[in-house]
Structure 1
Amino acid sequence: MRSEQRPRGEPVLARAARILQAFTPEEPELSVSEVGRRAGLHVATASRLIAAMVGLGLLARTPAGRVRIGVRLWELAQRASPTLGLREAAMPFLEDLHAVIGHHVQLGVLDAGEVLFVERLSARDAVVNVTRIAGRLPVHASSTGLVLLAWAPRELQERVITGPLSAYTPATVTSPARLRALLAGIRRQGHVVCDGHIHADATGVAVPVRSGPDPAAPVVAGLSVIVPSDGRASSLVPALQAAARGIARRVGGSSSLVQ
């Protein structure tokens, strides 16, 4: 959106937020003009705000004069992250699971109708995996997202089911009727196996992580592994479920770990 289309008197904080959102994992460094264009700001306005944010440590300049996210912003985010306790509780179980699986083990939470990945362990020769820490995927497409959606509020489920269902591969669920049936099956079986839903060579297996050992406790995260599509993914479900129960015991019913 062009800057002149922005409402007059827009708060500086809103502009600063758009500047931060201009950066992506694929493009962590941008020129001032690129930041302004992506944020919908005049280059002079972008330059002034960037200078202020650099002064606060929220942004940093590279030797080439480009701009990137500052270490100070990462530090502040780590202190206040609502997922920090969850990640700390989960890490020993993620490490044990990763030692057994040898591919990718990841933990995701539901945020703004998407799955946000808060932790991931990988191996050098692991199968292809498009997710990354602090990355997002649509809930209907990934195994982690599907287990979160299965126990999400009904309004969100209906919004996803009736909304656009984008496809990553021919195996991605794009039919509302099929998605509705899949969610019912996940709630019944307690897990999901997604063969080739994101990439043809990879299969995701996921289980819910609850806020405590009670089987009826709220689901606060999704635990998943990404392994080769060799037909053996289902055999990993018991290991995933054991890890999820361990995480739930450590979480201990604390609803403050995630928003």
Structure 2
Amino acid sequence: MPAESSSTMRSLDRAFDVLGVLEDSRQPLRLSEVARRAGLHVATAQRILNVLVDRGYAAKEDTGYTAGPAALATAHAFLVTNRLSQVALPVLQELAATTHLAASLYVRVGSARVLIARVEGRNPLRYQLPIGEKLPLHLGAGKALAAWLPEPELDTFIKETAPFTRISGEQITADELTADLRRVREDGYALSLSERVLGVAAVSAPISTPDEVLGALSVTGSSTELTADDHPHLISEVRRAADAIAARCP
């Protein structure tokens, strides 16, 4: 690769690193903090931020830098053109009506999952989960995506993730995470209780074609709504709905 092309690609990678830092932050960040989290020299981070601010992908406030409004336009373009979210919506609506639980659709982005569609159930959850929210792969519905990672990528993911502690206080080792994901892959679904949010249970399944995993479908409710007696029926409903979505995707 020519030196100029290599330099351009390196600059592009760094710009996406800075964007990722801004996406993951819940508050404005000082220049030095952006540089530290992105692993860049302060001067390099400043040059990138200047371009991102000019293009609207970053914004500068008195207290620091945040993600910019142009990201919303990009997200909107994705939602109105993405085939998966379009075909999934009626299935999500039917699943929420049938189970009375919140039905959600996630796709994997790197080592995270992103919510791209959601239909509330009969009793909305006590916490808000907006479209576009990035959540971990090793908890809840994320396991229905992580379990199908290619082996080398899966090994790296487990090493970088474990050990960790679930919101319930349960500590999970790398071996336990490996066994959990292997079980998800063998069973074709993930069942979680108080993993990311206390008192919240979820049943999730991959949306799979013969060539790839397109996303994950999940129903979520309080542990009082989603009891052990309900699990077989909910697992069947979620897997059926996931297969219906996959069948509608070319």
Query: For 1:39-188, what aligned pairs fall within 5 Å after superposition?
Result: 42=42, 49-60=48-59, 67-79=65-77, 84-122=82-120, 126-128=124-126, 132-142=130-140, 144-163=141-160, 164-170=162-168, 174-188=172-186
Query: For 1:159-238, what aligned pairs fall within 5 Å after superposition?
Result: 159-163=156-160, 164-170=162-168, 174-211=172-209, 218-230=212-224, 231-232=227-228, 233-234=230-231, 235-238=233-236
For residues 198 and 185 of structure 1, the distance between their equivalents in structure 2, rounded to whole angstroms, comes to: 19
Partner of 2:98, secondary structure, is helix
- Runs ≥4 in structure 1, deviation > 6 angstroms? 31-34
For residues 219 and 91 of structure 1, the distance between their equivalents in structure 2, rounded to whole angstroms, comes to: 18
TM-score computed with the length of structure 1 as normaliser: 0.70
Deviation at 1:91, TM superposition (A): 1.5
C-alpha deviations, 1:66-106, integer Å up to 9, x for none? Answer: 6543333332454468x922111212211222233444322
Deviation at 1:224, TM superposition (A): 0.8
Bigger mean CA offset, 31-40 vs 199-208: 31-40
| C-alpha spacing 1:153/1:173, structure 2 compared with 1 (3 Å) | farther
What is the aligned residue count?
A: 237
| C-alpha spacing 1:15/1:72, structure 2 compared with 1 (3 Å) | same
Which residue does 1:255 correspond to in 2? none
Is residue 190–residue 207 contact of structure 1 (8 Å, CA) maintained in 2? Answer: yes
Partner of 1:225, secondary structure, is strand
Deviation at 1:32, TM superposition (A): 6.2
Q: Which has the higher helix share?
A: 2
Bigger mean CA offset, 235-244 vs 151-160: 151-160
Is residue 89–residue 250 contact of structure 1 (8 Å, CA) maintained in 2? Answer: yes
Deviation at 1:161, TM superposition (A): 4.1
Query: For 1:26-45, what aligned pairs fall within 5 Å after superposition?
Result: 27=26, 29=28, 42=42
Is residue 118–residue 133 contact of structure 1 (8 Å, CA) maintained in 2? Answer: yes
Deviation at 1:50, TM superposition (A): 4.2
Partner of 2:115, secondary structure, is strand
Q: Name the % identity.
A: 25
C-alpha deviations, 1:25-70, integer Å up to 9, x for none? Answer: 663555667656755554x7766654543333333456x7865433
TM-score computed with the length of structure 2 as normaliser: 0.72
Partner of 1:109, secondary structure, is strand
RMSD, matched Cα: 3.7
Mark the runs of 5 or more structure 1 residues left unpaired by the alignment.
Answer: 1-8, 253-259
